[in-house]
Structure 1
Amino acid sequence: MTPPDRQRKREKRPPKPLDEQTLKDLALHYLGRFATTRARLVHYLQRKVRERGWAGERPPDCEAIADRCAELGYVDDAGFAAMKSGALLRRGYGARRVEQALVAAGVGEAERAPAREAGRDQAGAAALAFARRKRIGPFATGPADPDRRQKQLQAFIRAGHDFALARALVFADSMEEIAGLDEQFGRDQW
């Protein structure tokens, strides 16, 4: 038989309220674990203050902490945009979907511009990667009926690809049929 004190469950103590130094430490710990943007870091710090409370004399200045981290090079929105857009394009997502992901991550307009240009330049390669990954068009394992092709076209559109490019790939039955697309769409990454 176990003693009565072992039978009692441990009660969780509420976490200590944050102060300025603890908030800075949380920011550094978060940046050490995740590649992020300045906006996401601010959002994370504000959430932590809401969850744990604040014990400092002055109100928390999450913006100043994020600015300091950006000054030190711990947060780089342009680098994050390049990394994230490259990863999404390699996975086969289109320029529109890449743009949406960067906006959701809080990347500013100026930092998104090079990623937008890369998305336009690599549209053909990204579309082919998506078709290969999803086994669509010339990469399909068997003949596709009209309903299946419609669903494949919808998948292309959700992935952020241009409609004309998506339609050309979905309705292509062989690689020879898509050989002329580089002239039509002005892409050289095929």
Structure 2
Amino acid sequence: MPHRIRKLAPADLKDAALNYLGRYAASTARLRQVMTRRINRSARANELDPQPLMAELERVVAMLHRTGLLNDEAFAEGRARSLNRRGGSRRQIAAKLSAAGVAQATTAQALAGLEDELPDAEFTAALAYAKRRRLGAFRAVLDESPERRRKDLMAMARAGFALDLARRALAGEEDS
């Protein structure tokens, strides 16, 4: 017997949203996307109008904002910090936050906060990226050939780092 998709009731939306936020850090746009997909799937399977559930979703999102459980600023700051530690460039962090549905102003604020917190955040990220990918001075077997150096610089550029920053990070300069 095929799996039957349960008919969603307006009261189910709050629980479903809280459950999702309990499992994943999410922006408002991402939560809306996930919940809208769920509403549409249920409405199609049960031949119902999704509009009453969509209206309830907006009330749930507003309630989550009021209570502070859904906060794009906090999401953006946490995500920016996390991506920076892993070696994400400012450009890469901005792209990932944008893909998560975070507003451009909120992204800029999170990146500015990151710079305030860690004055040389971009270089720290470049160094972390080079270490994680074992590029340049962090390679297990040192290879200083021009071809290898060019490839390492290209990898750093694709990750969104400026040329001078990439060169310093690949040289393994720990201080700025």
Please, what TM-score do these two structures have when normalized by structure 2?
0.82
Give the C-alpha shift of residue 55 in structure 1: 6.2
The Cα of 1:115 is off from its aligned counterpart by 2.2
Residue 126 (str. 1) matches residue 121 (str. 2) = no
Deviation at 1:56, TM superposition (A): 7.2
**2:8 corresponds to 1:18:** yes
1:29 aligns with 2:19: yes
Q: What is the number of residues matched between the two proteins?
A: 166
Structure 1 unaligned segments of length 5 or more: list them. 1-10, 183-190
Query: Percentage identity across aligned positions?
Result: 34
Aligned ranges 1:23-172 → 2 under 5 Å: 23-53=13-43, 54=48, 58-61=52-55, 62-117=57-112, 118=114, 121-141=120-140, 142-170=142-170, 172=171
More helix by share: 2
* Equivalent AA in structure 1 for residue 158 of structure 2: R
Distance 1:114 1:59, change over 3 A: closer
Q: Deviations over 1:128-164 (max 9, x none)?
A: 1111222222222312333322222222122221222
Higher gyration radius (CA): 1
Distance of aligned partners of 1:63 and 1:161 in 2 relative to their CA distance in 1, 3 Å threshold:
farther
Q: Distance in 2 between matches of 1:21 and 1:151?
A: 55
Whether contact under 8 Å (1:98, 1:160) holds in the other structure is no
Distance verdict in 2 for CA 1:74–1:124, change over 3 Å: same
Unaligned stretches of 5+ in structure 2? Answer: none
Report the RMSD for the aligned CA atoms in angstroms.
2.2
- Partners of 1:56 and 1:135 lie apart in 2 by 50
Q: 1:56 to 1:130 in 2, by over 3 A?
A: closer
Match of 1:185 in 2: none
CA gap 1:76/1:125 in 2 versus in 1, 3 angstroms: same
The answer on whether the counterparts of 1:85 and 1:98 sit within 8 Å (CA) in structure 2 is: yes
The structure-2 alpha-carbon separation of the partners of 1:138 and 1:102, relative to structure 1 and needing over 3 Å to count, comes to same
